[in-house]
């Protein structure tokens, strides 16, 4: 079986060359970069590395661009790789072998974050509790309410899991039968939604015994505020699709509370400095 590596870029000039170099200049695998209308020279840098580039001219979001890449190749196995990831040839060999054994599975490595944290590529599914807790945490609230939610035994879904899309291997046919990445998710949560869809199809998710360095949020030169806004929107969309409009509205109130709490803490710190 053969493998195509699809890399979606958007303002990724700082990292794309290192990402491609980590794959190996003599890699037998096809590398396709899909550029989401970057204003920097992401596409030009990728071309200088000798790989094929599709320039979309506008930012369709990660999921839609990745699906464009999947439809633009013919190899039976796909690897979606974020530009802020650095893998090595052994990772691709392991992924190709895993999907070759069972085309009805999705395989994901372990990820090593910049601080040395190692994270499994297969994550438990989202419950209402987990959505609320994650919304609080990523918006800077880790107080009593977050600890209460995080400690519940029903925090994670037990029936399904999802693959971290920063580096994932999947059969092209399975990916397209699942509908690709859901276009309703511009960025973030598209891999969670894919995992839920694969679960309904009876597909298997496995973790590879390999590691990939993941820059976590450094693949695109956008502000942290914009990144957080995209993540919040994606979680609200997921809540609405799976748990209804009323729960999504509750999530919106959780977000408002998190922002208010963050502002209140900042004011309190300012007052303490002024009174010191």
The per-residue pLDDT for range 227-243, each reduced to its tens digit, is 888 999 999 999 999 99
User: What's the pTM?
Assistant: 0.90
pLDDT at 262 over 60: no
The answer to whether the CB of 33 falls within 8 A of the CB of 54 is yes
pLDDT at 126 over 70: yes
Give dist(CA 263, CA 93) in Å, integer: 48
**198-214 confidence digits (pLDDT tens):** 999 999 999 999 999 99
pLDDT at 116 over 80: yes
CA 103 to the chain's CA centroid: 22
Show me where the domains of the chain are located. 3-275
The answer to whether the CB of 123 falls within 8 A of the CB of 161 is yes
The answer to whether the CB of 132 falls within 8 A of the CB of 105 is no
pLDDT at 61 over 60: yes
Q: Cα dihedral sign for 29, 203, 85, 9?
A: positive
> Over pLDDT 90: what percentage of the chain?
71
What superfamily does domain 3-275 belong to in CATH?
A: Spore Coat Polysaccharide Biosynthesis Protein SpsA; Chain A (3.90.550.10)
Read off the pLDDT of each residue in 134-159 and give the average, rounded to a whole number: 84
């Amino acid at each position: 079986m053969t493998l195509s590596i699809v890399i979606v870029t958007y303002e990724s000039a700082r990292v794309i060359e290192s990402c491609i170099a980590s794959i190996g200049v003599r890699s037998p695998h096809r590398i396709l970069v899909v550029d989401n209308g970057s204003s920097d020279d992401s596409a030009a840098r990728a071309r200088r590395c000798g790989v094929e580039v599709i320039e979309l001219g506008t930012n369709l979001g990660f999921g839609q661009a990745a699906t464009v890449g999947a439809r633009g190749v013919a190899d039976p196995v796909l690897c979606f790789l974020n530009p802020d990831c650095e893998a090595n040839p052994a990772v691709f060999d392991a992924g190709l072998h895993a999907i070759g054994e069972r085309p009805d599975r999705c395989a994901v490595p372990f990820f090593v974050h910049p601080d040395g944290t190692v994270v499994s590529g297969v994550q438990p599914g989202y419950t209402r509790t987990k959505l609320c807790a994650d919304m609080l945490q990523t918006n800077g609230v880790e107080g009593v309410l977050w600890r209460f939610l995080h400690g519940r035994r029903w925090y994670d879904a037990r029936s399904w899991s999802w693959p971290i899309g920063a580096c994932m291997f999947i059969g092209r046919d399975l990916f397209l039968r699942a509908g690709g990445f859901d276009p309703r998710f511009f960025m973030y949560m598209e891999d969670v939604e894919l995992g839920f869809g694969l679960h309904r199809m009876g597909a298997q998710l496995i973790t590879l015994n390999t590691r990939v360095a993941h820059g976590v949020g450094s693949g695109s030169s956008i502000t942290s505020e914009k990144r957080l806004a995209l993540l919040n929107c994606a979680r609200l969309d997921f809540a609405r699709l799976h748990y209804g409009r009323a729960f999504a509205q509750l999530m919106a109130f959780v977000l408002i509370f998190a922002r208010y709490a963050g502002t209140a803490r900042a004011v309190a710190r300012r007052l303490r400095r002024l009174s010191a």
